[in-house]
């Protein structure tokens, strides 16, 4: 079985980490030959290309595959992928992300690949966009859909959004949860050292957000409610884990609202240190307006940390209200304040929600399950031909 994965870039992010986990896991199987094609990794988010330092034979750069729309670069990348597919002769092309998903599926069809799969880590269109962008991306996805044999979603919400848009039918969607190594999160690592590193004192109540410093991630909602929460809970500290192009803007906003001493920018954190950092927090908030099923949620849950999340996309599948976390209506800032305040003042509730969350995710989000579910789907598609 020959499998070709295609993704736009390997920045530090959920879709990228999930793709790498599946590619490296599949590569361990004796009956599979796998390759990953990616554009060059650019941007402040950090690179995951180092994951292939011992597997350079399966990782291939497509120089012109870049995220911004550029007709010339896009055409060159499209032709490059056709050439690669004709040479490698994959049984399945499996695409990820918007640009690579579009060009990769068209190139696979042109190269006469018989089975084409697209993973929806998060929708490429939606109400979060302007009308023009939403219309263009929706039309692009409908074009690519004519060359798609199957979709993999990371949450039920992805299938619902695509079907509502008239893309695909229920028979060609399969939900496969993301997979990662949960053990470091479950181990309850020593946290004093890393708290000291960021100036977090023992009596501080830490509310963390793990996300790129970028539009749609919901940081502005946190900035809006911060002054209110600080009045109620003076020892609260907001820990922003991640980097991105809006870091300077966000720091200015925090300065304008006189909350500088209550916000901590952790910046780009080594992925190996994320489990220790997550174990050091008290509450995780998830406020993104566009996300399939963010990895930060099950990771925090594995560390027995309670979650407060806006009810967007796949969050509701793991943040089950009053059981594994507190789910807040979209953009309900008053509800967000109440939920964070409630958890901040009730250590027993934090512990009970956190423990229930750990039990909920510990077997659902493993790398082994991710790889086996994908492998079984590949076999099913190939046998049906």
DSSP 10-51: -BSSHHHHHHHHHHHHHTTSTT-EEEEEE----STT-B-GGG
Tokens of 308: 């407060």
CB within 8 Å of 372: residues ≥ 6 apart:
none
Shared domain for 139 and 24, answered yes or no, is yes
What 3-state class would DSSP assign to 246?
Answer: coil
Shared domain for 95 and 29, answered yes or no, is yes
pLDDT given at position 292: 81
Look up the pTM and report it: 0.87
What's the domain count of the chain?
2
CB within 8 Å of 41: residues ≥ 6 apart:
9, 10, 11, 47, 48, 49
Could you tell me where the beta strands, DSSP code E, fall in the chain? 2-7, 33-38, 59-61, 92-96, 115-120, 150-153, 173-175, 205-210, 236-241, 263-267, 283-286, 307-310, 325-328
Shared domain for 173 and 191, answered yes or no, is no
Shared domain for 110 and 229, answered yes or no, is no
Shared domain for 217 and 357, answered yes or no, is yes
Tokens of 166: 């008239």
Q: Report the CATH number that the domain containing residue 320 is assigned in CATH.
A: 3.40.50.2000
- For the CA atoms of 72, 78, 84, 89, the dihedral, rounded to the nearest 10 degrees, stands at -170
- Give the structural domain span for 27: 2-179+366-383
Separation between Cα atoms, residue 24 and residue 373, nearest integer Å: 14
Give the length of the chain.
Answer: 385
Shared domain for 175 and 187, answered yes or no, is no
How would you list the strands of the sheet with 59-61, edge to edge? 59-61, 33-38, 2-7, 92-96, 115-120, 150-153, 173-175
Separation between Cα atoms, residue 187 and residue 322, nearest integer Å: 25
What is the mean pLDDT for each group of 10 consecutive residues in the chain (385 residues)? 97 89 94 96 82 88 93 97 98 96 98 97 71 79 96 94 92 95 85 89 95 90 98 97 94 97 93 91 92 90 97 91 95 96 97 97 93 97 88
Among 318, 326, 323, smallest CA distance to 362 is for: 318
DSSP 95: E
Shared domain for 188 and 175, answered yes or no, is no
Sign of the alpha-carbon torsion through 3, 145, 82, 73 = negative
Q: Do 65 and 39 form a contact (C-beta atoms < 8 A)?
A: yes
Shared domain for 30 and 141, answered yes or no, is yes
Shared domain for 303 and 194, answered yes or no, is yes
Shared domain for 24 and 69, answered yes or no, is yes
CA angle 4/5/10 to nearest 5° reads 145
Shared domain for 202 and 110, answered yes or no, is no
pLDDT given at position 190: 73
Shared domain for 203 and 282, answered yes or no, is yes
């Amino acid at each position: 079985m020959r499998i070709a994965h295609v993704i736009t870039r390997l920045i530090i992010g959920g879709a990228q980490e999930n793709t790498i986990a599946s590619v490296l896991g599949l590569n361990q199987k004796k009956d599979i030959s796998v390759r990953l094609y990616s554009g060059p990794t650019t941007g402040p988010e950090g690179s995951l290309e180092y994951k292939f330092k011992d597997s350079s034979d399966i990782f291939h750069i497509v120089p012109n595959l870049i995220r911004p729309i550029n007709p010339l670069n896009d055409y060159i990348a499209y032709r490059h992928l056709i050439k690669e597919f004709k040479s490698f002769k994959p049984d399945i092309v499996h695409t990820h992300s918007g640009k690579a998903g579009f060009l990769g599926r068209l190139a696979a069809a042109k190269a006469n690949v018989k089975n084409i799969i697209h993973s929806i880590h998060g929708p490429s269109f939606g109400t979060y966009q302007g009308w023009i962008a939403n219309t263009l991306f929706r039309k692009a996805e409908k074009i690519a859909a004519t060359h798609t044999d199957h979709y993999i979603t990371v949450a039920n919400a992805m299938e619902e959004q695509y079907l509502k848009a008239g893309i695909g039918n229920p028979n060609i969607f399969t939900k496969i949860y993301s997979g990662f190594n949960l053990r470091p999160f479950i181990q309850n690592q020593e946290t004093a050292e890393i708290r000291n590193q960021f100036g977090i004192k023992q009596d501080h109540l830490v509310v963390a957000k793990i996300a790129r410093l970028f539009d749609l991630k919901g940081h502005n909602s946190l900035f809006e409610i911060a002054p209110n929460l600080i009045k109620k809970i003076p020892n609260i500290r907001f820990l922003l884990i991640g980097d991105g192009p809006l870091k300077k803007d966000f720091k200015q906003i925090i300065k304008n609202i006189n909350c500088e001493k209550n916000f901590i920018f952790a910046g780009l954190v080594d992925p190996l240190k994320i489990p220790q950092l997550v174990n050091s927090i008290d509450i995780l908030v998830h406020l993104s307006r566009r996300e399939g099923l963010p990895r930060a949620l099950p990771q925090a849950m594995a560390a027995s940390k309670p979650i407060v999340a806006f009810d967007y996309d796949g969050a509701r599948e793991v943040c089950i209200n009053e059981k594994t976390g507190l789910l807040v209506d979209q953009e309900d800032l008053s509800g967000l304040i109440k939920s964070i305040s409630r958890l901040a003042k009730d250590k027993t509730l934090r512990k009970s929600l956190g423990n229930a969350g750990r039990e909920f995710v510990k077997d659902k989000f493993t790398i082994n399950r991710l790889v086996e579910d994908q492998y079984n789907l590949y076999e099913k598609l190939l046998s049906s031909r």
